[in-house]
Structure 1
Amino acid sequence: MPSPNRRLPHPAAGAAAITLAAILAMLAPGSAFAEPVTLAEALSRAAASSPTLAAAEADVAAAVGRAQQAGFRPNPELGLEIENFAGTGGFSGVDDAESTLSVGQRFELGGKRPARERAAQAEVDAARLRLAVARADLEQQVRDAYAEAYADSRRVELARDQFMRADNLQTIATELVDAGREPPLRALRARTAALEAVGRVRAAEAEYAEAQRALAALWGGGEELPEPTAAETPAAPSSVIDPASALDVRLAEAEVATSVAVVERERTLSRPDVTVSVGARQFRGTDDTALVFGASMPIGLFDRNQGNIVAANAERTGAEARRNAALAGAIRRTRDAQAALRTAEAQLAFLETQAEPEAIEAVRIAREGFSAGRFTLLDVLDAEEALNTVQADMITAELERAQAVAALTRATETEGSAQ
C-alpha cells in the first residue's frame, strides 16, 4: 500500500509521454520525393520548358516570317482569252476565233513595299522585346517561388524546433507535478502546448508542399518536389538605370514605333497601283498574230483605305499613352522595390541583433526559474511564444528581402540584361 504522503503521478503522464514520443517519431524531417534544387537550376529548368517562353518564341518566329513575306513583290499573272467562237452565223465554229495569251504585272506605287517592310520589321522588334519581358517576368516568378519555398522549409524547421521545446517543457512540467511542486493542471497545460506545436508542424508542412508544387509548376512539375537548398538571395542591383531604358518602357517604345510604321503603311495603301500587261493575239481566220498591250489602275472613288488609316492613327495614340504609363510605372516599381528592400533589411537587422538574442535569453531565464520554482508555467509559455514570434518574423523578413531584390532586379531589367 503506498504511503499517504507519497504523491501519485498524474494519470495522463505516462500516456502523454508515449503519445508525444510517437508523434516525435513521425516528425522526422525530409521527404522521400524531395529533390534538392539550387536557384540556378530552377531558373534553367523554367527557361527550358516554360510554355510562356515557348509561346513568346513562336510569336517572334511568326513575326520574322511575316517580315520575310512583306519583302516580296506581287507575282506576275498569266492570262488566256479566246474570243469569237461558238456563236452564230460565221462565228458558229472556231475558224474565226481570236486567242490572246498575255502576262500582266502589278507595280506597287507610293512606297508600299518599303513601308510594308518597315512595319513588319517593327513588329519583329516588338515581338523580341515581348520575349525579353516574358523571360524577365518568368525569372522573377521563379525567384519569388524559390524564396517562398525556402521560407516555408524554414518554417517547417522552426515548427519542429518549437515542438521539441514544447515537448521538453511538458516533460519538466510532468516531473514537477509528480514531485508535488506544481498542480496537475500545469502538466495538462504543457501537454496542450505540445499538441498545439504538432498542429503548427502539420500546417507548416502542408504550406511547404504547396510552395514546392508552385515552384515545380513553373517548369512543368514532376513526381519529385523541389527542395530549395539555400536562400541564395543575390545582391540587389547597385546601379541606377534611366527609367527610359527599363525593359517595359523599351517594349512600349517599340509598340509606338510599330504603330507609326503601320500608319505609314496604311497611308501608302490609299495610293493606286498600276497593272501592266503585254501579250500576243492570234487570229485563226487569217492566221495572223498581233501584240496586245494594256494598263489598268483603280479609281479611288469610294475606297481610299481611309477607315484603316483612322484606326491606325488611333492605335498610335493608344501606344503613345501606354508608353507614358509604362515610364511612370517603371519609376514607381523601382522606388517601391527600393523602399521594400530598405524596410526588409532594417527589420531583419533589428530582429537578428536585438530581438532574437533578447528573446532567447528570456526563454533561458524563464525555464531556469520554472525549474527552480521561481516562475510559473505561464511565464515560460509567454517567453516561448515571444521567441517563436521573433523567429517567424525573421523568416518573413528574409522572404520579403528576397522578394524585394527580385522585384528590383525586374524593375531595372534592360534589353541587354534580359537576353
Structure 2
Amino acid sequence: MNLFVATIKIKKPIDNRFLFGLFTFIMAFSVTAKEVKEFESAIYLNDAVSMTLANHPELKAFLLRNDMQQGQVQQAAIGEPSQINLTVEDALGVGQHSALSNMQTTLTFSWLLQQEQINGRVNTAKTEIEQLAVEQQIVSFDLAATTAKQFIQILVKQERLKLNQMATLQAKEVLKALSERVNAGKGSNIDVRMAEVEIVRMALAVEDTVHDLKASQYQLSSLWGQAGSTFRVNGDLLALPKLSNLEYELDKLKQSPHILQFVTATRIAQSQLELARIEAKSQWQFTAGLRRYEATDDFGLVAGVSIPLGTDNRNAGKIATLKAKQDVLAFEQASLMQQLDSQLYVLLQEMAHARHVIDTFQQDIIPTLDITLKEAVIAFNVGQLSYSQWSDIRRELLNAQSELLNTYESLHLQHIEIQRLTGASISQ
C-alpha cells in the first residue's frame, strides 16, 4: 500500500523521461530492491523482542539471582542442630573417688523447639523469590519496550531513506530537464545551479539517514548480543494502534508489575514482621539422657528443660520498623498510581492528537499540496512561475510527507510506552 502518491505531468520541452516518478513520493513497504538497498535479512517486531528476551544478559542474571534465592530458602529451613553431650564426674580423684570406681557418666541429647521460627524464615525467603519474579517481569517489559521503540525508529528511518532517495532521483530529473531547456535557449543557468545545489543537499540527507540507520541497527542488534549484524525490519507503520480510554488502561495498570512490586514488597514486610514476633518468643530447650553409676553398676535416666528468661518484646524496635515500612510502601504505591494515572492520560491525549494530525495530513494538507504542485508545473511551463517558487512547493510537499512520517513514529512510540506501563504484550 502506498502512503503518499503525487504525480505531475509536464508539457514539452521537458523530456518525457522526466515523468519517471517526478514529484512522486512513495513511502510504502512495496518499494523494490532496485530503489532501496536491501539488507541481508528481514525481521519482524515479534522476532526482535523474542531475541532480546532470550539473549539479553540482564535477564540471564535473574536466573543466577533465582538460584541464589533458592539457596536462601534452603538455608532458612536449617535450624540449630541438636546436641549430644557426654559428661564424666567423680573420676580420677582421691580417696573414694580415685581411679574410676565411683565415676558417673552421663550421655544426653538436647534439642530446641524451633519449628515455628524455621517456618517463618522459609516463608520470608519464599516471598522474596516472588519479589524477584516481579522485578524480572519489570525488566522484561522495559527491555521489550526498548526493543520495540528502536524497531519502530529503524522502520521509520528505512522509509525516510526511501523518501530521500526518491527525492534525489526526482531532483536529478529536474536538473536534466532544466539543462535541456538552457541548451535550447529557453532557460536560465541560475536555475540549473540552484537545482545542482538542491541535489547536493538531498544527497547529504540520504547519507545522513544511512549513517543514522546503521547506528540504530547496531543498537538494536546489541540488545540480543549480535551487535553489528545487518538486517531490514518489516512492519506496517500504517497500522494504527487502537485508541483505548483511561479507565480501561488504569484497570490494566493495577495488575501491572509496577504495582505488583509494591504488593509483593508489602507481603515481604508482613512476613518479616511475623518472623520478628516469632523470634521474640523464648525458645525452650529439652534434654534427655542416660547416666551410668560405676560404683553400683546401675543406670538412670536424666531429663531437663531450659527456658530463657526475659520478655517477648526484645524485638519491639524491629517490629515497629517493619510496621512503619508497610505504611511507607502503601503511600509509595498510592503515589505511583497517581503519577501513572497522569502519565497515561497524557499519553492517550497525545495519541488522539497524533491520529488527528495524521488524518489532517492525509485528507487535507497533502492532497492540497499535490494539486498545487500540478498547477505549479503548468504555471512554470508557461513562464508564470519561477523555478525557485516551483521548488518551494516541491519542498513543502516533501516536508509534509516527512512530518506525516514523524507523526506515525510518535503515535507508535506512545502506544509502546502505554504497553510498557500497563504490562501489556508489546505489539505494533
Aligning the two structures, in what range does the TM-score lie when normalised by the shorter sequence? 0.7 to 0.9
Residue aligning to 2:133: 128
In 2, Cα distance between equivalents of 1:177 and 1:387: 26
**Deviation of the 1:369 alpha carbon:** 3.3
Q: Deviation digits for residues 361-413 of structure 1, max 9, x if unmatched?
A: 33333344334433222112211221121111111111111112212223333
Aligned partner of 2:216: which letter?
A
Residue aligning to 1:49: 55
Contact 1:49 1:220 in 2 (8 A): yes
Contact 2:156 2:405 in 1 (8 A): yes
Aligned CA distance change for structure 1 residues 90 and 143 (closer, same or farther; 3 Å): farther
Aligned CA distance change for structure 1 residues 69 and 178 (closer, same or farther; 3 Å): same
Aligned partner of 1:251: which letter?
Q
Matched ranges for 1:320-331 at <5 A: 320-331=330-341
In 2, Cα distance between equivalents of 1:250 and 1:209: 38
Residue aligning to 1:24: none
Instruction: Give the TM-score taking structure 1 as reference length.
Output: 0.81
In 1, Cα distance between equivalents of 2:370 and 2:124: 66
Residue aligning to 2:196: 191
In 1, Cα distance between equivalents of 2:294 and 2:374: 118
Residue aligning to 1:35: 41
Aligned CA distance change for structure 1 residues 234 and 390 (closer, same or farther; 3 Å): closer
> Structure 1 stretch 96-105 or stretch 296-305: which is displaced more?
296-305
Match for 1:294 among 285, 304, 317? Answer: 304
**Deviation of the 1:341 alpha carbon:** 1.3
SS of equivalent residue, structure 2 residue 224: coil
Aligned partner of 1:29: which letter?
V
In 1, Cα distance between equivalents of 2:382 and 2:95: 134
In 2, Cα distance between equivalents of 1:314 and 1:369: 78
SS of equivalent residue, structure 1 residue 30: coil
> Structure 1 stretch 260-269 or stretch 114-123: which is displaced more?
114-123
> Structure 1 stretch 56-65 or stretch 376-385: which is displaced more?
56-65
In 1, Cα distance between equivalents of 2:379 and 2:227: 51
In 2, Cα distance between equivalents of 1:395 and 1:128: 39
Match for 2:266 among 229, 232, 256? Answer: 256
SS of equivalent residue, structure 1 residue 278: strand
Contact 2:222 2:228 in 1 (8 A): no
Contact 1:215 1:226 in 2 (8 A): no
**Deviation of the 1:85 alpha carbon:** 6.1
Aligned partner of 1:189: which letter?
M
Q: Does 1:247 align with 2:254?
A: no
Aligned CA distance change for structure 1 residues 285 and 154 (closer, same or farther; 3 Å): farther
**Deviation of the 1:123 alpha carbon:** 2.4
Residue aligning to 1:158: 163
Residue aligning to 1:147: 152
Aligned partner of 2:83: which letter?
E
Q: Does 1:235 align with 2:241?
A: yes
Aligned partner of 1:322: which letter?
E
Q: Deviation digits for residues 75-126 of structure 1, max 9, x if unmatched?
A: 42333445566788988977766544322211128x4344334433432333
Residue aligning to 2:380: 370
Residue aligning to 1:138: 143
Residue aligning to 2:28: none
Q: Deviation digits for residues 222-266 of structure 1, max 9, x if unmatched?
A: 442331112365733747152433332222222122212222221
Aligned CA distance change for structure 1 residues 412 and 234 (closer, same or farther; 3 Å): farther
Residue aligning to 1:107: 113
In 1, Cα distance between equivalents of 2:388 and 2:93: 116
Match for 1:317 among 320, 327, 332? Answer: 327
Q: Does 1:337 align with 2:343?
A: no
Number of residue-to-residue matches in the alignment: 388
Aligned CA distance change for structure 1 residues 192 and 85 (closer, same or farther; 3 Å): farther
Root mean square deviation of aligned Cα: 3.2
Aligned partner of 1:364: which letter?
K
Aligned partner of 1:51: which letter?
P
In 2, Cα distance between equivalents of 1:46 and 1:95: 80
SS of equivalent residue, structure 2 residue 42: strand
Matched ranges for 1:5-84 at <5 A: 29-30=36-37, 34-67=40-73, 69-71=75-77, 74-82=80-88
In 2, Cα distance between equivalents of 1:328 and 1:56: 30
In 1, Cα distance between equivalents of 2:98 and 2:206: 101
Contact 2:282 2:312 in 1 (8 A): no
Match for 1:268 among 264, 278, 303? Answer: 278
Aligned partner of 2:186: which letter?
R
Contact 2:38 2:232 in 1 (8 A): no
Residue aligning to 1:180: 185
In 1, Cα distance between equivalents of 2:335 and 2:398: 44
Residue aligning to 1:403: 413
**Deviation of the 1:62 alpha carbon:** 4.2
In 2, Cα distance between equivalents of 1:92 and 1:237: 98
Aligned CA distance change for structure 1 residues 287 and 375 (closer, same or farther; 3 Å): farther
Contact 1:333 1:411 in 2 (8 A): no
Contact 2:160 2:402 in 1 (8 A): yes
In 1, Cα distance between equivalents of 2:367 and 2:95: 118
Aligned CA distance change for structure 1 residues 234 and 370 (closer, same or farther; 3 Å): closer
SS of equivalent residue, structure 1 residue 202: helix
**Deviation of the 1:163 alpha carbon:** 1.1
SS of equivalent residue, structure 1 residue 245: coil
Aligned CA distance change for structure 1 residues 235 and 75 (closer, same or farther; 3 Å): farther
> Structure 1 stretch 256-265 or stretch 300-309: which is displaced more?
300-309
> Structure 1 stretch 233-242 or stretch 156-165: which is displaced more?
233-242
Residue aligning to 1:8: none
**Deviation of the 1:142 alpha carbon:** 2.0
SS of equivalent residue, structure 2 residue 338: helix
